[in-house]
Amino acid sequence: MTDLTRRDLLGLGIGLAGSALLPAPGAAQQKPATGTAGTPRRGGSLIVLVQNDWTVLDPVFGGPPNGMEMIYDRWIRWEKDPKTGQWGPRPQMVAEWDLRAGTEVVLKLQRGIKFHDGTPWDAAAAKWNLDRMIFDPASRMRAYFGSVDTSRENAAELERLKQSAAQTFDYASKAVEVFDSYTVKLHLRAPNAPILSVLSPVVNYSYPVSPTAYRKLGKAAFNRSPVGAGPFRFVEWKSGSHVLLRRNPDYWQMGADDKPLPYLDEIRYRLVIDDSVRFLELRSGTAHFTELIQAKDAPTAKSDPQLVYLESQDSANAYRLTFDAANAASPFVREPALRLAFLHALDREAMARILGLGAGASLRYLLPKGSFAYDDSVPSHGHDRARAQTLVKQAVAANPSLAGPDGRVAVTLSVPERPVDKAVAEMIKQMADNVGFDVRIDALERAAMTSKVWGEKGQYHAAIMRNPVVAGDPDSQWSLFFHSKGFANVTHLREAAWDGLIDTARATTDTAKRKALYRQMAQRAYDQAWFGYLWQQNWNWVHARKVKNFVEPVADRWIFTEVWLE
Amino acid sequence: MATYVAHRLVQIVPVLLLVTMISFALMFVLPGDPALLILGDQVADREAYETLRTRLQLDRPLPLQYAAWLGKAVRGDLGTSTRDDSPVAGGIAERLPVTLELSALALLFAVSLALPAGIVSAVRPNSRVDVCCSVLSLGGAAVPHFWLGILLIYALGVATRLLPISGYVPFREDPLGNLTHMMMPATALGLGIAAILMRQVRSSLLEALGEDYVVTARAKGLSTAVVIARHALRNALIPVVTVLGLQVGRLFGGAVITETIFSLPGLGRWAVDSILWRDFSVVQAVCLVMALGVLLSNLAADLAYAWIDPRIRYRA
C-alpha cells in the first residue's frame, strides 16, 4: 500500500475522560521545565535535516510538517504525561475547552497572543480559521470535521465557493459562533469525542494562520510567505533546498530566564532526501537534528558520543496487510478461510527481528499499546503454520478451482517499490508459499500503487501498507480503515455495521462504553480477517549532543520552542 | 555558415514537438491517477476527486489536453505544477542554473582529467603510466556515480571534513561556498565521462601520431610537445568532440541521481519527483528543456568540427 504520509494517518490520540473537561486555567503560561537539560543558552542556528520536500507552507492545504509547527502555534498541544505515560491534550492557543454540552464545543482562547503581522489572536481570528478548515473546498481538514452541524449554512454560498478557484476565503459560517472576544463555539450534529485531537498537532493541517495576511496576500502568495503565531517567523523558502525561520521576538510564552521564548535565533530546515547522507551529515557535525534513520544505522548513532539517539515506544511506522473485499475474483474473497490461512502463516516476531534490527516489534492489533482501548484479550491471528496449511488444504478440497495444477493457490501481493516493504513482501511470500500459496509479488511505484489499492474498484488480492501510528484516540485508526468514508479504507469494506459501531463510539465521551465498543470492533476485525497486522518500526530521532531539551514529540511534529544549543 | 546554423535551429522545432508528444503520451501510459495522489486524505470524497480531475483537465481526451498544453507553451506559459500550483516556468528558472552549473563543472573536470591522461597514454603506449591510466579509466567507467558519490561524501565530508557533504549555495551569494559545495557532485558525475573521454583521446591521438605528417614533423626536428600540440592533437580532437557531444545526454541523466545524493535543487531531481507524482506540466517542461539542451549541444559539437578543422565548411 502507498505510504500514506505520516501526517495523514497519525492516530487522533486523546486521553479521553480527562480531556472532555476544562484544564487548569493559565496552564499554558507556566514556565517550561528544563529538567536535567541544564541552563538554557540563547542564540545559535539549529540545522534540521528533512527528507520530504515542501509543497505548501499553508497547513490547511497539506504538505509535510517540516517547519510549519514552528511558524504556526498550535490550538492545543499534544504531550505525554510523564506519570501515566498517556498522551493527551494540553492548553496552548486554546486555554480552556468544554465538551460537556455534547454537541457544542466551547473553546476559550489564550490571551496576549499575536500573529507575526500583529493581528491579534481572538475569537474573530479563531472563527475565521475554523471556518476555513471546515468549509474551504480544498481544505485537508474537512474530512476531520464531518460531525459539524452544517444544516444552517448558506448552501448557495458554499456551492459558489466550491465552483470558484478562490484566492481568498471569506465565508462566515453559522456552525462556528463567536461567543465573546475570546470564546468561540463549534456546533456539532452529534458529540464527537476526538474533536480536540483534531485541533492538535496530531492532525497536521490544523495550525491557525493570520487572517489578515491571508486576505491581503491571497492563497498562492500566502503559501510562499506564511504568517503564523509560532515561536519562529518565516524568512525564506528555496524550493528543493531549505526553509529558514528566525525567532519571533514577540512570542507569548516565557523561557526559564523570564524572557520570551524561543532560545534559538534561527532554524534552517534543509532537504536531504537520502537516508545515508542525512546520517552522515549528523555524524560530521554539519547538521544538528534528523529523524527516522535506518535501523542499520541505529547502533552507530547510539555509540557515537556526539549524538543522542531517541526511540519512541508510542510512535511507529506500522506495516499491515490488507485484502481487497471488492475484488470478487480474488481467492481471498471467494474463500474467507484463505485469509485466515494467510494471516496464520506469518511469523511477525521474525519480521520484527530481522527487518527491525532491534528497533522493531511485532503487531497483533490495530491499536498501539499506549491507547486506552488497547485490549490484548481479543484473539489475534498468531503464527500457526499447521493451522494455515490445514485451512488451505480444506479450502482447495472443497473448491478445487481455487488452486492451480500444482495444487497451490495463486495470489498477488502488491507492495510499494521501497526496500523495506519489498523485504517484508519477500518474507511473506516465503511464509505463505510454505503453507500452500503461490505468492507473486507485484512491486509498484507510488502512483501505480495508489491507483491500484485506493482506486474506486478493487483490483488487488493482498497489499502491504505502511502507516504511522501514535498512541491515542482509537477513533482515528478505526474510522480511517474501517468506516465506509474512511480515506484509508483500502479493504473497500462498505458495511453499515462497521459504520454504526464507529459512529457510536465516536459520539460518546463515556470511556468504558467506548472501550467496550472498540473491543467489539477488534473482535469483528479478527473474525472477518480483512486486515492483518505485521510489525512496526519504532520512530526515532537523532540529534547532536549540543542540542538540549528536545522532548519526544508526536512523531514528526518537532517542537524546538524550548530547545537550545550548548 | 550562418545560414547553416539558422537551418539547424529551425530543424530543432519538429524534434522538440516530437519529444513533447512522446513524453506526454508516455505519462498517460504510466499507471496511476494524479488526482488520487494529490487528494491524499480526501481520496474518499468522490466529489472532490471529480472536481480535481476537471480542474486538471484530466477528463478531456488526450489530444485535446496536449493541444491545450501546446497552445500555452508556444506563448511561453508552461502551466502550473499540479502538486503545489507554482508556475512551472518559475521552477525551471530556479532549478536549471543548478543543473547547468553541475553539468558544466562535471564536463570541465572530465576534460581536465581526460585530456592530459589521454595524451600521456598515447605518447607512452604500453608504459606503466599508460597501463595505470587505462586501469583507472576502466574503473571510472564501471563505478556507478551514486556509489562514488557516497564514497566521496564519506572520505571528504565525514572522515576528513574537507568539503561540505550536501546542499547548495548560489554563486552570487557565496562564490567560494558554491564551488566547495559543487566539487564532490561534479567529481562524482564527471569521473565516468572522464574515463570514456580519456580512452577516446588516447585512441585518436595514437592514430594521429602514426600518420606520415607527424613523422615528417619529427624528422624536421620539432619537439614532441610541439608535434602533439600543433599537429597531432588537433586532428585527434574531432572524434573526441563527437564523444563529448554524446555525453551531454548522459550528464543530464546522471544529474538526477547526483542531485538526489548531494541534495542539489536542480532540474533532474525535480523531474523524477514530478514523474512519481504524475505532475504532467513539470514533466513536459523538463523534457522540453532537456531535449533542447541535447540538441543545442549537438549543434555546438558540429560547429566545433568546423573550428577544429578548417577544411570542414557547412552549407545550408
Q: Give pLDDT, residue A30.
A: 41
B26 interfaces chain A, CB cutoff of 8 Å? no
Q: Which of B30, B166, B278 minimises the CB distance to A277?
A: B166
The shortest C-alpha distance from A489 to chain B (Å) reads 8
A223 interfaces chain B, CB cutoff of 8 Å: yes
Predicted confidence at residue A283, as pLDDT, reads 92
Average pLDDT (A514-542) is 94
Written as nine digits, the cell of B259 is 542531485
pLDDT of residue A5: 45
d(CA A463, CA A47): 37
B88-135 pLDDT per residue, tens:
999 999 999 999 999 999 999 999 999 999 999 998 888 998 999 889
Assess B50–A contact: CB distance below 8 Å, yes or no: no
Angle, helix B128-142 to helix B175-209, in steps of 10 degrees? 120
Q: Between B30, B43, B94, which is nearest A454 by CB?
A: B43
CA distance A172 to A161: 12
Task: Give the chain B residue whose CA is nearest to the CA of A3.
Answer: B40
Dihedral of alpha carbons A80, A83, A85, A91, sign: negative
pLDDT at residue A20 is higher than 60: no
Q: What is the pLDDT of residue A58?
A: 92
pLDDT at B275 over 60: yes
3-state SS, A350-378, equals HHHHHHHCCCEEECCCCCCCCCCCCCCCC
SS3 B47: helix
For residue range A446-500, list pLDDT tens digits in order.
Answer: 888 888 887 766 789 999 999 888 776 888 889 889 998 887 889 998 899 999 9
A156 touches chain B (CB under 8 A): no
Do residue A140 and residue B40 have CB atoms under 8 angstroms apart?
A: yes
What's the pLDDT at A510?
87
Q: Are A46 and B79 in contact (CB under 8 A)?
A: no
Give CA–CA dist A230/A239, Å, rounded. Answer: 22
SS3 state of residue B84: coil
**Which DSSP string corresponds to A128-144?**
HHHHHHHH-TT-TTGGG
Residue A531 near residue A321, CB atoms below 8 Å: yes
Flag if A274 and B263 touch (Cβ within 8 Å). yes
Cross-chain residue pair B166–A4, CB shorter than 8 Å: no
User: CA-CA distance, B84 to B68, in Å (whole number)?
Assistant: 20
Q: ω into residue A262 within 30 of 0, thus cis?
A: yes
With contact defined as beta carbons under 8 Å apart, do A19 and A96 qualify?
Answer: no
| Residue A182 to residue A122: CA distance in whole angstroms | 5
Task: Check if the beta carbon of residue A263 is closer than 8 Å to that of residue A39.
Answer: no
Question: What pLDDT score does B54 carry?
Answer: 80
pLDDT average, residue stretch A337-349: 97
CA distances from B124 to B121, B128, B129, B202, B230 (A): 5, 9, 7, 10, 18
Cell numbers describing residue A369: 499499546
The answer to whether residues A562 and A32 touch, using CB atoms and an 8 Å cutoff, is yes
Residue A412, helix vs strand vs coil: strand
Mean pLDDT in residue range A335-343:
97
Q: How confident is the model at residue A6 (pLDDT cuts 50, 70, 90)?
A: very low
pLDDT over 70, % of chain B = 97
Query: Which pLDDT belongs to residue A36?
Result: 53
Region of A67 (left: φ > 0; alpha: ψ -120 to 50; beta: rest) is left
Contact A310, A552 (CB under 8 A): yes
Look up residue A514 and give its DSSP letter.
H
Interstrand relation of A232-238 and A242-247 (parallel, antiparallel or unpaired): antiparallel
271-290 of B, contacting A, C-beta below 8 A: 273, 276-278
CA atoms within 13 A on the CB side of A422: 7
* Burial category of B135 from C-beta neighbours within 10 Å (exposed 0-12, middle 13-18, buried 19 and up): exposed
Backbone φ and ψ for A480, nearest 5 degrees, come out as -60, -40
Going by C-alpha positions, the residue among A376, A410, A414, A421 that lies closest to residue A526 is A376
pLDDT digits (tens, 9 = 90+) for B148-185: 888 999 899 888 889 999 999 999 999 999 999 999 99
Other CB atoms within a 10 A radius of the CB of residue A499 amount to 17
Residues of A in contact with B270 (CB under 8 A): 240
| Residue B19 DSSP SS3 | helix
pLDDT digits (tens, 9 = 90+) for A386-403: 999 999 999 999 999 999
| pLDDT tens profile B210-256 | 888 888 888 888 888 888 888 888 888 888 888 888 888 888 888 88
Which ipTM did the prediction report? 0.83
**Cell numbers standing for residue A29:** 503560561
Upper half-sphere CA count for residue A37 (Cβ side, 13 Å): 20
- Angle made by CA atoms A77, A82, A86, in degrees to the nearest 5: 65
- Percentage of chain A beyond pLDDT 90 is 61
For β-strands A547-548 and A564-565, DSSP reports them as antiparallel
Between chains, do B265 and A238 touch, taking CB under 8 Å as contact?
Answer: yes
Q: Please, are residues A535 and A319 in contact by the beta-carbon 8 Å criterion?
A: yes
**Does residue B86 sit at the A interface (CB-CB below 8 Å)?**
yes
Mean pLDDT value across residues A82-106:
87
Chain B CB within 8 Å of residue A277 CB: yes
Identify the residue whose cell numbers are 499575536: A114
Helix (H) or strand (E) holding A245: strand A242-247
- Rounded to an integer, the average pLDDT of A293-316 is 90
Instruction: Collect all residues with Cβ–Cβ distance below 8 Å to A69 and sequence separation of at least 6.
Output: A201, A207, A230, A557, A558, A559
Q: Where do we find the cell 468504558?
A: A512
- As a residue count, chain A comes to 566
- Percent share of chain A, pLDDT over 70: 92
Rounded Cα–Cα distance for residues A410 and A426 (Å): 15
CB of A450 less than 8 A from some CB of B: yes
Looking at residue B166, its amino acid is S
Please state the rounded mean pLDDT for residues B18-34: 85
B154–A280 CB contact, under 8 Å? yes
Q: Which pLDDT value is given to residue B211? A: 86
Distance CA A235, CA A218 (A): 18
Retrieve residue A271's grid coordinates: 532537504
How far apart (Å, rounded) are the C-alpha atoms in residues A95 and A101? 18
Residue with cell 541521481: B257
Nearest to B216 by CA among B201, B206, B226: B226
Report the pLDDT value the prediction gives residue A258, as an integer from 0 to 100.
93
Supply the mean pLDDT for chain B.
87
Q: Residue B34 above 80 pLDDT?
A: no
On whether the CB atoms of residues A263 and A40 are closer than 8 A, the answer is: yes
Mean pLDDT of chain A: 88
| N-terminal to C-terminal alpha carbon distance within chain A | 42
> Which grid cell sits at A374?
488497547
Q: Is residue A172 pLDDT above 70, yes or no?
A: yes
Which cell numbers in the block locate residue A58? 499553508
Has residue A182 got a pLDDT over 70?
yes
Distance between CA A30 and CA A254 in Å, rounded? Answer: 8
Q: Rounded to a whole number, what is the largest CA-CA distance in chain B?
A: 86
For the cut 50, the answer to whether the pLDDT of residue A29 exceeds it is: no
Task: Answer whether residue B80 shows pLDDT above 80.
Answer: yes
Nearest-angstrom CA–CA distance, B86 and B58: 19
Q: Do A446 and B277 touch (CB under 8 A)?
A: yes
Taking residues B188-215, what's their average pLDDT? 90
What average pLDDT does the segment A230-252 reach?
A: 95
Best interface-test mutation with A: which of B148, B166, B256, B282 has the largest number of A CBs within 10 A? B166
DSSP string for A321-336? EEE-TT-TTSHHHH-H
Burial class of residue A113 (count of CB atoms within 10 Å of its CB; 0-12, 13-18, 19+):
buried
Site of grid cell 514530478: B274
What are the backbone dihedrals phi and psi of residue A109, each rounded to the nearest 5 degrees, phi first?
Answer: -90, 150
Amino acid B158: pLDDT: 85
